[in-house]
Amino acid sequence: MPLPILPPILSSLVPVALFVPPWLLITFISTGLFYFWVSSWPGTRVKVKPMKASKFDANKVPCNLDTIVIGSGSGGSSCSNILAQSGQKVLLLEQHEDRTGGCTHTFRINGCEWDTVSLCCLTYP
């Protein structure tokens, strides 16, 4: 039975599909689609205006915000970064005015430096 007439790109893949496992083809195609999606992310075209952290003042908060993220730990920082790169106006709030939050900062007790993860492990065995 002769092969049906295929577009040139598909006809070049027919010999490959006979020798390559389907899971590898699916992985290769999905990786290519993901790379195309990431390379066309609007973050390269959107102008992000970072601002230096300062003590909270209600007069400094813009009126036309799209999203407010509370907590500047790993999740809050990542989320606000992605939202800002997608074109939203984001306000990131943190209770500490001199460092980021969550598991991303350290502090000193009796001359020893601790991070929040090790303190949680010591507090809750």
With bands split at pLDDT 50, 70 and 90, how would you rate the model's confidence at 67?
Answer: very high
Q: Are residues 57 and 95 in the same domain?
A: yes
Q: How many domains does the chain have?
A: 2
Inside any domain, residue 63: yes
DSSP state of 105: -
Residue 31 has pLDDT above 80, yes or no: yes
* Exposed e or buried b per residue across 38-69, where buried means at least 16 C-beta atoms within 10 angstroms of its C-beta: eeeeeeeeeeeeeeeeeeeeeeeeeeeeeeeb
CA distances 122 to 50, 103, 108, Å, are 36, 15, 15
Residue 18 confidence (pLDDT): 64
Query: What is the average pLDDT across 21-38?
Result: 81
With bands split at pLDDT 50, 70 and 90, how would you rate the model's confidence at 124?
Answer: very low
* Token pair for 22: 């389907």
Q: Are residues 22 and 58 in the same domain?
A: no
Q: Are residues 70 and 87 in the same domain?
A: yes
Inside any domain, residue 82: yes
Mean pLDDT of the chain: 75
- Name the nearest CA neighbour of 115 among 81, 74, 70: 74
Q: Are residues 62 and 23 in the same domain?
A: no
With bands split at pLDDT 50, 70 and 90, how would you rate the model's confidence at 77?
Answer: confident
**Is the model more confident about 68 or about 124?**
68
- Which residues on neighbouring strands pair with residue 69, listed in sequence order? 92
Ranges of beta strands (E only) in the chain are: 67-70, 90-93, 106-109, 112-115
